Amino acid sequence: MSRPESAGARFRQALQEEHPLQIIGAINANHALLAKRAGYRAIYLSGGGVAAGSLGLPDLGINTLDDVLTDVRRITDVCDTPLLVDIDTGFGPSAFNIARTVQSLIKFGAAACHIEDQVGAKRCGHRPGKEIVSTAEMADRVKAAADARTDADFYLIARTDAIAVDGVDAALERAHICAEAGADAIFVEAAYDLPTYRRFTESLPVPVLANITEFGKTPLFTVEELDSAGVGMVLYPLSAFRAMNKAAELVYAAIRRDGHQHDVLELMQTREELYDRIGYHDYEARLDALFAQGKKA
């Protein structure tokens, strides 16, 4: 079977072939390759991950579009697994800014994005004190993003944080308006039980994404549980990143304390494993061939 040409088309194909579609967070290009090796059909770049992982900053809307695009390009340059990208509030404030964001993502090889309804000075979706824009303003954001697509298959997800601010009924009403404005799916942030997800999936004409992030407001539901509630996509935004950070802290502390790394080797990927995962030997073979050609000349 021929492969769909665009990243957006590959994302849509993955949605058809896996239900719910598991979307795993990849903090960098190396992790994208590891996720592909593990069999994931779609991967994710978190805005909070860009902020914390690439910049050492909190997830408070500080990072810019260029910060995100740098990480997008690094991932899509080496990994063809379709990439969903967190664009926070769209890097606005205007529709022109949102349009530029979407068109830049497509140029850089992303397959999909999600845009949210928090105010520009946003917070992590699982923290208190969130503020959201009006429903009309969020609809305008979604419409601006949808209209800007230069690839009709690029997948647009509208995220609502309204459950924590105004309750489930208001969030559900807002989700309907976002779907009418052109969203291909709805990201229900900080839902707290399966019946809440079921209310969204049974009411909406588009798929629903569940964000199953550790240490947050949403329980760590299984794929089977979410499937029973009709959820179409399951997102694990920073699972490997959290594990990587914990391992790094343990290794740093052990080497500083003990003066050697003998006791933490089991936490490490070996040199040969790294070479295998990034295709090192294939590159080296090409280098050997070039040297051989040069000697013949």
Contacts 24+ apart (CB under 8 A), 271-274: none
- Is 273 known to sit in a ligand binding site? no
- Is 47 known to sit in a ligand binding site? yes
Sign of the C-alpha dihedral, residues 202, 129, 125, 138? Answer: positive
Kindly list the structural domains of the chain, giving each domain's residue range(s) and its CATH number in brackets, ordered by start. 7-238 (3.20.20.60), 245-295 (no CATH)
Each residue's pLDDT expressed in tens, for the chain with a length of 297 residues? 344 589 999 999 999 999 999 999 999 999 999 999 999 999 999 999 999 999 999 999 899 999 999 999 999 999 999 999 999 999 988 999 999 999 999 999 999 999 999 886 788 777 777 889 999 999 999 999 999 999 999 999 999 999 989 999 999 999 999 999 999 999 999 899 999 999 999 999 999 999 999 999 999 999 999 999 999 999 999 999 999 999 999 999 999 999 999 999 999 999 999 999 999 999 888 888 888 877 776
- Is 125 known to sit in a ligand binding site? yes
pTM, entire model = 0.93
List, by residue number, the catalytic residues. 44, 59, 86, 88, 114, 116, 124, 159, 189, 211
Residues 6+ positions from 272 with CB-CB distance below 8 Å: none
- Is 159 known to sit in a ligand binding site? yes
Angle at 92 between CA 88 and CA 93, to 5 degrees: 130
- Is 216 known to sit in a ligand binding site? no
